[in-house]
Amino acid sequence: MAARTLALFDLDDTLLAGDSDYEWGLFLAEIGAIDEAGYKARNDEFMAQYRAGTLDLQAFLAFQLCPLSQFSMAQLDAWHAQFMERKILPIVRPGSRALLDKHRGAVQVMVTATNEFVTAPIAAAFGIPALIATALERADGRFTGRTVGTPSFREGKVVRLKEWLASRGERLEDYAESWFYSDSINDVPLMSLVTHPVAVHPDEPLRAHALERGWPIIRLD
């Protein structure tokens, strides 16, 4: 039996030169779906917390998911198509697709803290077949503004990956090689478990951590 490889990819500030969650909020503000001034100020505050590794996850999720509960799925899907064209495709890092091509023989998974509504079409656009993202509750065909299960953030990414592997009858140890590409100090819990952690355009805390441990540091531009 051939040795198998697992390739995990963070999304925001890794494959993208920006944050899809943040850009989604800006997009909703720009089209007038939400109040721009108030939303942007709060969004910026949460983004600063995230980059500092001090994000209050539950407060952020309550803030970020509220707009999804206010509109129909048909409306949200229509807006998302515009969002992809305006906000996401222009910030795909030039080297992202070459990195994915390097691992085409592997089992590929996008592992992101951003919610599944925002990220599922992005994973599909990259051709990544599996997505582990923060799952959203639905009722009567609409989002409720609440999550389901463990949010895939920090240690939650480890939990969700193990759950995903278990659903396939697998464990991480079943793979001869496992890779995880990320930019953020928040992803150290999962990076520490794989055989090949790689820092991509890392924030300063992750850069220091990677240098101390001899992890590769790469750029995709």
Look up the pTM and report it.
0.93
pLDDT of residue 1: 39
Q: Which domains does the chain have, with CATH numbers?
A: 5-215 (3.40.50.1000)
For residues 143 and 137, the answer to whether their CB atoms sit within 8 Å is yes
Neighbours of 45 (CB within 10 A): 13
pLDDT of residue 156: 97
* pLDDT band of 39, cuts 50, 70, 90: confident
Q: Show the tokens assigned to 73.
A: 């799925």
From the list 12, 19, 21, 203, the catalytic residue is 12
The CA distance from 36 to 20, in Å, is 17
Reply yes or no on whether 12 is catalytic.
Answer: yes
Reply yes or no on whether 10 is catalytic.
Answer: yes
Mean pLDDT of the chain: 94
